[in-house]
Amino acid sequence: MAEPIRWGILGTGKIARALATALQDVPDALLVGVASRSLEKAEAFAADFPASTAYGSYEELAAAGDIDLVYVATPHPQHAANALLALDAGKGVLCEKPFTMNRREAEQVVALARSNNLFLMEAMWTRFMPALAEVKRLIALGEIGSVHQVVADFGFTASFGPEHRVYNPELGGGALLDLGIYPLSIAASLLGAVVDVKAQAEMGPTGVDVQTGFTLKHAGGGMSVCSCSFQARTPGELTVSGSRGHIRMNTMFHRARSITVSLDDGSTRTIDTPYLGNGYVHEVIEAQRCFREGLIESPGMTHAETLALMEVMDEVRRQIGLVYAADHAG
């Protein structure tokens, strides 16, 4: 068996715990370090997972000599700085979505990874789900004919106070950055690059969007209709439609365990798809595959795609009037 790939995690929140859990289900993955700005939080996290070292600063973990890949799971506005920190220290990086706050920051991170010849991937876990792979396989076989449209939604009722990260602009709050990236990313994965976008939003009292809708035109001629909400518990489904029928990634589409194919002959069938562990296992497997092969990016989530999607997000924010502190920096 190959030597395990050694992971460090920046951050100790819910998403960091999800990734740490996934690492336990990947035989050649080893969590060796976790860092927080609070040593006490890092130590508590390390006690819950088999991490050998708890660090009281991100800098200490980045400098550690026994780490291959760093997972950035800090609040949104810290992603760019934390990814740059790890890359500067010679570590490969898996960076949680949204990759950064805007395209300008994303360009800086990608440029450093490329100049240092280091692996870097946006942690859009849905991109690596077997359900999405099966949808693409059926489309390639011509199952639903020529593909023209995607409709996708992602929403839940966020019953939190204004200081919570989902509503706090200083923490990169807002439905678009937190949820909207999912329908956007998968629509682009299925229909190709976005060439035009039209967006509307309802803004909340803290100045961030509480629900946003946007339509996209894609380079191949297809269109997609996407929405995200902190006010409505939506179906959480994605449907891709063609000239002969449609395929639905079932609730919740971002972590789908099945897809349903409906054709113009009246036939309908549901296909169960693999789902390893808590779902994050699939992106860990892909990151480790790329790292072992000496790749600096994944063909399933390329740097160019990440940059293009951040640019679309920037344009949606421009249209709905959503501005963050990061937009005034640099």
Whether the CB-CB separation of 185 and 222 falls below 8 Å is answered with: no
Q: How many residues does the chain have?
A: 330
Whether the CB-CB separation of 256 and 266 falls below 8 Å is answered with: no
Long-range pairs of 262-269 with CB within 8 A, sequence gap ≥ 24:
263/143, 263/144
30 forms beta bridges with: 6
Residues noted as catalytic: 97
Closest CA to 185 of 83, 79, 301, 286: 301
Helix (H), strand (E), coil (C) string for the chain: CCCCEEEEEECCCHHHHHHHHHHHCCCCEEEEEEECCCHHHHHHHHHHCCCCEEECCHHHHHHCCCCCEEEECCCHHHHHHHHHHHHHCCCEEEEECCCCCCHHHHHHHHHHHHHCCCCEEEECHHHHCHHHHHHHHHHHCCCCCCEEEEEEEEECCCCCCCCCCCCCHHHCCCHHHHHHHHHHHHHHHHHCCEEEEEEEEEECCCCCEEEEEEEEEECCCCEEEEEEECCCCCCCCEEEEECCEEEEECCCHHHCCEEEEEECCCCEEEEECCCCCCCCHHHHHHHHHHHHCCCCCECCECHHHHHHHHHHHHHHHHHHCCCCHHHHCC
Handedness of CA 286, 291, 292, 297 (dihedral sign): positive
